[in-house]
Structure 1
Amino acid sequence: MQKLGRMISAIEVILKHVHEGIVIADSEGRVVYVNDANQRITGLDNSRIFGCYVKDVVPESSIPEVIKTGMEKLGVKTRVNDKFVISNIVPIYDGGEIIGAISVFLDVTELENLNMKLKRAEERINHLSKQLSTFLGEGDLIVGRNPLMQKAVNLAQKAASFSSNVLITGESGTGKEILARFIHNNGPRKNKPFIAVNCGAIPETLLESELFGYEPGAFTGAGLRGKPGLFEQADGGTIFLDEIGDMPLSLQVKLLRVLQDREVRRLGSSRKIKLDVRVIAATNKNLEEMVKNRSFREDLYYRLNVIKISLPPLRDRKEDIPVYVRHLVEKLSRRMGKNCPKVTPSAMKLLMRYDYPGNIRELENILEKSLIMDEDDILDHRDLPELIPHPESRRIYPESEKHWPTLSEVEKNLINRALSSFPSKVEAARALGISRATLLQEIERVRHYVSSQTKRA
């Protein structure tokens, strides 16, 4: 016992500051040392268990077994009152004699919470990485020579130095989130969070709780511990509200209040939380028209529209297409593990002629398909997808010509074009003027048609 006491005294300063719980028992199984973390994790009063037999305090403890057998036990799950802990228990030797055992343990709940936080962080990183990879340059903003794009980036550089709200407008796929990140990364908040949320992708019933958070039991299905909203998570940094035009009117009122008061109140709570958050919003809709139609609040529009930056569509900056093509081909080749192919003048000429309703996102999609088709490390017009018309396929069919495309063929090409141009089936359906359910039905019908034609052939 004296030897064990001397060992403990020699390292007590270290043991006292360890985050994990520590219990040391002598050769008879009596508790001779516990650190402060033991009481925090187990809820047991350290003063009451000191000197007691371990089995009397924690009947399920494996410490007596380790003392008896001299075999360590790792990753042991043990119940302590109404809690569970994970322990690593090893014997303490003096020469060849066992003089006790030490148990180092963690709260299972703490471990689960830590794993959950790590999982959420990983999911967020993967989500952001996936979002960024759909735009140009894995987050790098390429300006090019187009004066409209240069003007937009110059304005973004000026906006980066301030905390004023920014509204970015532009068609889908023009790189609005990339510009928002550029503003954040070039300003004083660059080392703080950047939280992106797509207001059109989250169901209306969940959007409020996602943005503003909720207290335990605030609504049916609410978590027992509550949850901070995205505004709270962005405190000190930037929140990017993409597709702000899709936000329902009922939430627009609450968002306006947050912007005015710089504070948020979780669902189910009366407590207001002060915030320091920069807001960057983006939309591919005409908010001025929506204000006139009363589908978007005028006061919210002017609150967001402090600095307005408009991104031109790709068809209006075609002189920069070769720059984008070279950059995207290099990026996609690295991602796909292929040699970076040479783009022939004929392929570049066709790419320059196309209008890109899906903008940079569609250009990336086209180039990815082309790289899959390429077999000789030379990207020519034959490697481009069907939606890019090839020179040899150009024919003008007179009315007497029998080789008119069928209606199903036209529908197939139109659906493929929409799916290539837009990031989701919801947006593709919206562009086609149909519902998502109808689009799915049409996709299935066209698939059956193609399958039947193939069998006939």
Structure 2
Amino acid sequence: MPDTPEFLTPPTLPADADALLKLAARSMFDTLARTAMGTLVVDRRHRIVWISEGYKRFLPALGHAEDDFVGRLVEEVVPNTLMAHVIDSGQPMLVDLLTNQAGTFLVSRLPLRDEHGEVIGAMGMVLLDHPETTMQPLITKFSHLQRELDDARRQLAAQRRPKFTVASFIGASPQAMEVKRQARRVAQTDSTVLLLGETGTGKELLAHAIHAASGRAARAFVGVNIAAVPDSLLEAEFFGVAPGAFTGADRKGRDGKFKLADGGTLFLDEIGDMPLALQSKLLRVLQEQEVEPLGSNTVQRVDVRIIAATSRDLPAMVADGRFRADLFYRLNVLPIRLPALRERMADLEALIEALADDIARRSGLPHKSLEPDALALLARHRWPGNIRELRNVLEQATLMTDDMTLTAGHFRHVEAQDGGSGPAIEAAVEPLPVAAGASTPKSLPQAIAELECRAIREALAATGGNKLAASRLLGISRATLYEKLPHL
């Protein structure tokens, strides 16, 4: 009688179910190990205990020799692997894309359990080593999403990166050194800082510097100029808006500055211009570290460090009832007074050098130096606009002449105001020759601009520098006034 064909011979079955399961597990493991392009096994401590012959061919591209993997952490051998996550979570990853120096792979990861169901390791398999050839749409989408994620991370890192450091506050005079010392000291705390000083003394720069030197440097720095935001929008700007809070509101809602600065620093510039009605709400946020968006009944916890700044006399405003005393005390925990430029004229030359470098970089023009007579002239000026005014004068003188060296003649309008209190509005250039007895008429835009500058200066002088009162006197909004101030 002929032999029975092998495929018709019934297999010998184990006597019990446990033996059957073990056989099935071994059979499945052997099958997967043979059919996969590469397989590795990792124990519960994330260390490699076995690797298939097929997987060994990927090791050179990863910078490892074939005999240099057993006993090592899997994340050290295979960059970007998620095997450790599978072990820690106990959840399989049936299909995933893995990208590293060796290429892009379609992989599968399975947890391994003992008889009690405890995870004792994991098995990883390379199903395809060049999935782009057979799975082009999926790979294209994956690559596109990866590029978008990388771009978003770079943009976020750039936004969070501090613009200035304490070293950015130029000067070696005793006054400048004291400001730097205080800035470094307060940066080590989370207490509220109040920066005091005239307009143009560098309060915003110092706020950035304090944030950069603090433990919050890796988180967001959010600034808001209170004087530049209409009163009716300030509350929404600070606390945010709930979805559909009012007609025309974003259906998704909008986060306020406090929420955007969560974990970081919120810079409140021109705090002296905050309306009384909003001061009490700000005080509550500072005390409770909670915000309630407009149109919402939900309170949101925030962790925000406050740096406030003002060019106004807050104690006088408290005495007049224009600023809440309790809010002033809450803000005035760590006050730093920034000296006016006229109080630290020893720093003038260093400031001019730094500003000239920045002007050249931004304008694309060569760096222009100043003759001693120009430096002497600028040193005699009172600089009511401080460093902002100094930059304005230097920039105009630089852009309005082709000369590589600036002399006192390039700053004749500053000389005309030498010792005065008004700002220098224009750095001069040599006038065109005119016939005797004739005058050169001004263009209409130039005449309007000069009239506008004069009206703003007179309004500020009449109101003692109170920008809100000056804007009302001029019949314009505070935001419009602030837009025009840099051009004075």
Counterpart of 1:434, as a letter, is: L
Q: What is the aligned counterpart of 1:436 among 476, 479, 485?
A: 476
TM-score (norm 2): 0.58
TM-score (norm 1): 0.61
Q: Distance in 1 between matches of 2:381 and 2:349?
A: 13
In structure 2, stretches of 5+ residues that fail to align are 1-34, 39-91, 99-107, 109-131, 419-427, 429-436, 461-465, 481-488
**Structure 1 residues 160 and 371, CA gap change in structure 2 (3 angstroms):** same
Indicate if the aligned counterparts of 2:194 and 2:334 stay in contact, CA closer than 8 A.
yes
Q: Distance in 2 between matches of 1:348 and 1:357?
A: 17
2:338 matches 1:259: no
Aligned equivalent of 1:42: none
Deviation of the 1:102 alpha carbon: 4.6
Deviation of the 1:414 alpha carbon: 6.9
Residue-pair matches, total: 342
Task: Give the 3-state SS of the residue equivalent to 1:340 in structure 2.
Answer: coil
Q: Distance in 2 between matches of 1:199 and 1:384?
A: 34
Aligned equivalent of 1:162: 189
Which is greater in Rg? 2
Q: Which moved more, 1:241-250 or 1:336-345?
A: 336-345
2:424 matches 1:384: no
Q: Distance in 2 between matches of 1:439 and 1:264?
A: 25
Task: Give the 3-state SS of the residue equivalent to 2:182 in structure 1.
Answer: helix
Q: What is the aligned counterpart of 1:209 among 236, 242, 245?
A: 236
In structure 1, stretches of 5+ residues that fail to align are 1-7, 20-34, 36-89, 93-99, 394-401, 441-457
Structure 2 matches for 1:57-68, cutoff 5 A? none
Task: Give the 3-state SS of the residue equivalent to 1:144 in structure 2.
Answer: coil
Deviation of the 1:283 alpha carbon: 0.6
Aligned equivalent of 2:95: 16
**Structure 1 residues 123 and 245, CA gap change in structure 2 (3 angstroms):** farther
**Structure 1 residues 270 and 116, CA gap change in structure 2 (3 angstroms):** farther
Indicate if the aligned counterparts of 2:166 and 2:183 stay in contact, CA closer than 8 A.
no
Deviation of the 1:152 alpha carbon: 2.5
Deviation of the 1:386 alpha carbon: 2.6
Q: Distance in 1 between matches of 2:187 and 2:447?
A: 46
Q: What is the aligned counterpart of 1:344 among 362, 365, 371?
A: 371
Indicate if the aligned counterparts of 1:366 and 1:385 stay in contact, CA closer than 8 A.
no
Counterpart of 1:248, as a letter, is: P
2:404 matches 1:325: no
Counterpart of 1:272, as a letter, is: V
Deviation of the 1:439 alpha carbon: 13
Deviation of the 1:10 alpha carbon: 7.0
Counterpart of 2:380, as a letter, is: R
Deviation of the 1:387 alpha carbon: 4.2
Q: What's the CA shift string for 1:105-141, capped at 9, x where partnerless?
A: 879xx99x99998999799799x97xx8xxxx99811
Q: Distance in 2 between matches of 1:187 and 1:213?
A: 26
Aligned equivalent of 1:80: none
Task: Give the 3-state SS of the residue equivalent to 2:250 in structure 1.
Answer: coil
Indicate if the aligned counterparts of 2:342 and 2:383 stay in contact, CA closer than 8 A.
yes
- Identity within the alignment, %: 37
**Structure 1 residues 206 and 121, CA gap change in structure 2 (3 angstroms):** farther
Task: Give the 3-state SS of the residue equivalent to 2:353 in structure 1.
Answer: helix
2:253 matches 1:226: yes
Structure 2 matches for 1:144-159, cutoff 5 A? 144-145=172-173, 147-159=174-186
Indicate if the aligned counterparts of 1:365 and 1:420 stay in contact, CA closer than 8 A.
no
Task: Give the 3-state SS of the residue equivalent to 2:228 in structure 1.
Answer: coil
2:289 matches 1:243: no
Counterpart of 1:16, as a letter, is: V
Structure 2 matches for 1:74-223, cutoff 5 A? 92=134, 102=137, 140-145=168-173, 147-223=174-250
Q: Distance in 2 between matches of 1:355 and 1:222?
A: 48
Q: What's the CA shift string for 1:137-178, capped at 9, x where partnerless?
A: 998111331x33332222222111111111111111111011
Task: Give the 3-state SS of the residue equivalent to 1:356 in structure 2.
Answer: coil
Deviation of the 1:428 alpha carbon: 11
Task: Give the 3-state SS of the residue equivalent to 2:227 in structure 1.
Answer: coil
Aligned equivalent of 1:296: 323
Q: Distance in 2 between matches of 1:413 and 1:211?
A: 36
Indicate if the aligned counterparts of 1:161 and 1:186 stay in contact, CA closer than 8 A.
yes
2:376 matches 1:353: no
Task: Give the 3-state SS of the residue equivalent to 1:214 in structure 2.
Answer: coil
2:389 matches 1:310: no
Deviation of the 1:415 alpha carbon: 4.4
